[in-house]
Structure 1
Amino acid sequence: MTSPQTGAPDEILLVSVEGGLGHATLNRPRQLNALSVELIDQLAARLRAWAADDTITAVLVTGAGDRGLCAGGDIKQLYAGVKSGDGPGDFFEHEYAMNLLIAQYPKPYVVVMDGITMGGGVGISVHGSVRVVTERTLVAMPEAGIGLFPDVGALYWLARCPGEFGTHLALSGARIDGPTAIAAGFADHFLPSDRAPELVAALTAGGAAALQSFGWPETPVAQPTPAWIDECYSGNDVTEIVARLASHPHPDAVAAARLIGTLSPTSLTVTLAALRRAATMDIAAVLAQDLVLTGHFVNVPDLVEGIRAQLIDKDRTPRWDPPTLADVDPDTVAAFFA
């Protein structure tokens, strides 16, 4: 969503306050508004200030440019830190603290998930109180493809998707559209992209009260969850899940098995274990678990290798260690949660 706010071209967060609305726009459009630690800190500081400001009745978060809200964390920044031996620094700690701030925000937190909303972009949206999708929305948590796991508290929501749909999203990194995001519990309202300025104008004129009177259109009907997802994704063993997918008569199940087979075996195994645990946790506990897990992931080779293959060299041929699900040591997986 292109923002009407003004600011210097090098400002990574544009802010405005008008009529009781605090409006923050992520302003790194060339990087698809990727979250650097600097952007995370600026957004979190602004949200805290607005929470304490009695003149602010609602907050709106959008992304600059026309490609998406946010494609995720600044993975290249993370790669440089881990590769050099300096580690991720405060990145994950600050990001997850911001996610919890959003989840517990005391005022209406409105976010327009227009276009690409992935990874860290899910973290700044899914925990909000008013989550708006459009016909251009694409939501995904594809972290297993870079040797990580669905973090930013997303496992809380994935564990609460209907049936095993969340397991499918967590393991495959599949993309979903706006109506499907609503059906899965990741969003609340549908709004055509060209009507987003109307929402901004309504919030500017009426603050939080405008949310009750705004003319939300009817949400397009989402495609029903295919039966093969519930048939294949149950249980706590990734190897068994992949085997069921591979032998299923539906071609989409077979395609999912092939896709999952290209992802980090360690990431997949830890992801499934963390997802099942998240089903009985509150959001604060899930984010605390995320921080523990990332502390381990930055010390195993798959994260650097996955980022290298997908985003640095772009050869798309990561050499995972261990290379197969059968080679993943259960004791190693258990140690991730310690």
Structure 2
Amino acid sequence: METTQVLCRREGRVGRVTLNRPRALNALNLEMIRGIHSALTGWLDDPDVEVIVLDGAGERGFCAGGDITVVHESARTDHGIARRLWREEYALDALIASYPLPVVGLMDGITMGGGIGLTGHASVRVVTERSVLAMPEVAIGLAPDVAGSLLLARAPGELGTHLALTAGRIGARDALVCGLADHYVPAERLPALTEALRPYGPKAADVVAAMAEAPPAGAADLADDRSWIDACYAADSAAEILGRLRARPEPAAAAAAEALLSGSPTAVEVTLRALREARSMATVAECLVQDYRLSCRFLEGPDLPEGIRAAVIDKDRSPRWSPASLTEVTPEAVDAYFAPLGPDDLRLSPPPAAVLAWSDHSEAEPTRNR
């Protein structure tokens, strides 16, 4: 599929995919999703392509997420628009997670939401000094999707719960600590990294590891906060988590309490349940089915359009959530978000025939099923 919003080309043994909406921080729309999917499936039949590199145009971000203005309009007018976007986006995420060739994701700059979906399930994930990672969905009345809850559920201790419920942003060092990235490479060395991969596709992981460095220390590393984070977020409800955060003496815990309170109460409680459910999941595809149910249910409710309005449309940063407090969110209301959609449930197509063929290829470098 030809599109100027995604640049797909072959460079040596590398299949290169560059998101090309820098003025929109490379936010994903349906045209881009289809372009990436078309390129990846096409390269499966190209014996000269041995590694995929995902990056973004511009210096500000790899991908700020999905184009939420489209979701906002869909919530107001036609739910089918967002449902179609999510179905195809999640199918692309599932393809990347099962892709038989090494996929190197360069998370240089802002990488959030849908950007995590593209790179978080890649076989080699690279961050730089400019990287800012987040799954900030609760701030707009949604739960983390693109199987981000699976990644966060697998973070050490309760670090993932902390990030999800506060819409927290992290840099390179914390991304490595949380297991959202594999290597740190300074931004100025990314062109050399891509060049080094051109003749050595099957050895992509080794090439990246050889160029990686230790990340610079942050002002406050999450690893140093594990004691209070693990103690607070192990609670069974968001309301109890909030109480534990408020009882802690650490300023960072107080800040986390305020961040949690600013999100949609329904989204916070649903997100906590989603993370707990994800802990027992084995595959990205399994998590994406849950994500689709949750996203569709939020699309039908009041908080998603209101959250996008406050954050992006009017930019008043004063969303009016309904219900307005955590204590008003009942267990029955949370349960309803997880109920199957019946015929409308997400049904991911089987992997392309080329994927199945490559899975038995003795020389193919296996990808990790995150």
Structure 2 length as normaliser, TM-score? 0.86
Counterparts of residues 276-291 of structure 1 (less than 5 Å): 276-282=276-282, 283-291=284-292
Aligned-partner SS, 1:62: strand
Give structure 2 stretches of 5+ with no counterpart: 340-370
Q: 1:304 to 1:205 in 2, by over 3 A?
A: same
Look up the equivalent residue of 2:305 and give its one-letter code: V
Q: Is the contact made by 2:129 and 2:215 (CA closer than 8 Å) also made in structure 1? A: no
Deviations 1:251-289 (A, max 9, x none): 110111011111100000000001000000022111111
Quick one: which of 28, 33, 36 aligns to 2:29? 36
Q: 1:261 to 1:211 in 2, by over 3 A?
A: closer
Deviations 1:175-224 (A, max 9, x none): 11112111111111110000000011111233333542453233226632
Q: Is the contact made by 2:193 and 2:211 (CA closer than 8 Å) also made in structure 1? A: no
Aligned-pair distance for 1:100?
A: 0.7
Aligned-partner SS, 1:95: helix
**Aligned residue number for residue 220 of structure 1:** 215
Look up the equivalent residue of 1:64 and give its one-letter code: A
1:295 and 2:289 matched: no
**Aligned residue number for residue 259 of structure 2:** 259
Counterparts of residues 270-281 of structure 1 (less than 5 Å): 270-281=270-281
**Aligned residue number for residue 3 of structure 1:** none
Aligned-pair distance for 1:89?
A: 3.8
Quick one: which of 109, 116, 129 aligns to 1:115? 109
Quick one: which of 198, 207, 210 aligns to 1:204? 198
1:312 and 2:285 matched: no
Look up the equivalent residue of 2:126 and give its one-letter code: V
**Aligned residue number for residue 79 of structure 1:** 72
Aligned-pair distance for 1:330?
A: 1.4
Identity level (%): 47
Deviations 1:129-182 (A, max 9, x none): 010110111100110000001110011111111111011011001111112111
**Aligned residue number for residue 229 of structure 2:** 229
C-alpha separation in 2, matches of 1:289 and 1:210:
32
Q: Which moved more, 1:207-216 or 1:153-162?
A: 207-216
Q: Which moved more, 1:197-206 or 1:252-261?
A: 197-206
Aligned-partner SS, 1:195: helix
Q: Is the contact made by 1:165 and 1:225 (CA closer than 8 Å) also made in structure 2? A: no
**Aligned residue number for residue 145 of structure 2:** 151
**Aligned residue number for residue 21 of structure 1:** 14
Aligned-pair distance for 1:295?
A: 1.4
RCO (CA 8 Å, sep 6+): is it higher in 1 or 2?
2
**Aligned residue number for residue 131 of structure 2:** 137
Q: Is the contact made by 2:102 and 2:204 (CA closer than 8 Å) also made in structure 1? A: no
Look up the equivalent residue of 2:326 and give its one-letter code: L
Look up the equivalent residue of 2:321 and give its one-letter code: W
Q: Is the contact made by 2:228 and 2:248 (CA closer than 8 Å) also made in structure 1? A: yes
Look up the equivalent residue of 1:123 and give its one-letter code: G
Aligned-pair distance for 1:53?
A: 2.0
Structure 1 length as normaliser, TM-score? 0.94
Aligned-pair distance for 1:235?
A: 2.2
C-alpha RMSD over aligned residues: 1.4
C-alpha separation in 1, matches of 2:274 and 2:205:
35
Q: Is the contact made by 1:117 and 1:138 (CA closer than 8 Å) also made in structure 2? A: yes
C-alpha separation in 2, matches of 1:240 and 1:329:
14
Q: How many residues align?
A: 330
Q: Which moved more, 1:217-226 or 1:74-83?
A: 217-226
Look up the equivalent residue of 1:266 and give its one-letter code: T
Runs (4+) of structure 1 moved beyond 3 Å? none
Q: Is the contact made by 2:245 and 2:254 (CA closer than 8 Å) also made in structure 1? A: yes
